[in-house]
Structure 1
Amino acid sequence: MLLRAVEKFLRENGIPATRFGRESVRDPRLVFDLRQGREPGERIKRRIEHFMNTYRRSTGQ
């Protein structure tokens, strides 16, 4: 579910996976690891969701 939301966010905003990981949780490998089955903890999930929500508000989406 989280990976699907992240992939959609990347497509809609044209953000590279490494940039997303670096800016959201300071881990440029985040998206690649999610694609390989990594299950982040609740704290990381909240940081990812917060980043996506904040980004959307700042761009008016």
Structure 2
Amino acid sequence: MDGDLLPRIEAFLVRVGLSATRFGRIVVHDPRFVFDLRAGRRPRRLVHARVAAYLVEHGA
């Protein structure tokens, strides 16, 4: 897993104007997901892959 997931998410949120809570709900059904990443949480491989795929699919 690469360590650039959070910066990619942050850039995506700014670019599309989406809140961190809404992103977490949409992508992983966890409204605290981005906040937990910011606090140091490391997602499991499948969650990481799901988020990375979502970002690629949506042009991030």
TM interval, shorter chain, is: 0.7 to 0.9
1:43 aligns with 2:40: no
Question: Kindly, what percent of the aligned residue pairs are identical?
Answer: 44
Consecutive aligned runs of 4 or more in structure 1 exceeding 6 Å deviation: none
Q: Give the number of the structure with larger relative contact order, counting CA–CA contacts within 8 Å between residues 6 or more apart.
A: 2
Given the alignment of the two structures, is residue 5 of structure 1 paired with residue 4 of structure 2, yes or no?
no
The structure with the largest alpha-carbon Rg is: 1
In the superposition, the TM-score normalised over structure 2's length comes to 0.86
Structure 1: 5+ residue runs without aligned partners? none
Higher share in helix:
1
Please give the per-residue CA displacement for 1:6-55, whole angstroms capped at 9, x wherever unaligned. 00010011000000000000000000000000000110011111222223
Aligned-pair Cα RMSD in Å = 1.3
Q: What count of residue pairs does the alignment treat as equivalent?
A: 57
